[in-house]
Amino acid sequence: MRYIHFHDYLKDVLLIATFSGAVYVWCVTKEETPRHLVQVTKTVTSLRCAMGDVKVTSAKTMTVLYLLIGTGLGQMSLYSHHTDLTLLSSHDLTLEWSIIAHEPSDGPFNDQFGSLRKL
């Protein structure tokens, strides 16, 4: 196990990430064991949840939840899912984008490494 995070917007939903890149989901009040959610490349170093409004038509918006997963190899993947879920599964996720934010460092120490050239 590498990273544990309670979902910010889904009650009692725990996200568990591993060194192998597997991400599990566990509704601790309704399930006995975690379920596999998604697989990413290598070790998960961060999990974040967010909420945003998406324009459906010129007069209508829809609230969407997001899951951002970062790895030690510099991969960042953004998944979206609907807000009306009580149990989250891999079928509920839509991959919005996945990028390599930076290549892994193999040289001498550099305090700007991983800063996305912001420093």
Per-residue confidence of the chain (119 residues) as pLDDT tens digits? 899 999 999 889 999 999 999 999 999 999 999 999 999 988 999 999 999 998 888 889 989 999 999 998 889 999 999 887 767 889 999 999 999 887 666 777 666 655 555 54
pLDDT score of 87: 77
Q: Is the pTM of this model over 0.85?
A: no
pLDDT of residue 108: 76
* Res 111: pLDDT: 66
Residue type present at position 4: I
